[in-house]
């Protein structure tokens, strides 16, 4: 059975954010504004999104 996936969108720029926030965004594979990536829906990726909710959005 295929693993569930979530789509994550970069909605704000991480320019004036702490380095830890920038590294989280980069590790998700997001480079440009409004870019959407698809990642496995597990606790690790959900936790990364919860660390920077002001920068990211989960797209349905």
- Identify the pLDDT of residue 33: 98
Q: What is the mean pLDDT of residues 7-19?
A: 97
Q: What is the number of domains present in the chain?
A: 1
Domain that holds residue 47: 5-59
- The CATH number assigned to the domain holding 25 equals 3.30.1390.20
Instruction: Enter the pTM of the model.
Output: 0.90
Longest dimension (CA), the chain: 41
Nearest to 6 by CA among 47, 14, 20: 47
Position 3 scores a pLDDT of 85
What's the pLDDT tens digit per position in 40-51? 999 999 999 999
Q: What angle do CA 34, 57, 32 make, to 5 degrees?
A: 25
Q: Does position 1 have pLDDT exceeding 80, yes or no?
A: no
């Amino acid at each position: 059975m295929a693993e569930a996936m979530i789509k994550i969108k970069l909605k704000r720029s991480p320019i004036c954010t702490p380095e830890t926030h920038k590294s989280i965004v980069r590790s998700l594979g997001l480079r440009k504004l409004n870019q959407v990536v698809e990642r496995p829906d597990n606790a690790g990726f959900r936790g990364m999104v919860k660390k920077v909710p002001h920068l990211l959005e989960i797209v349905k």
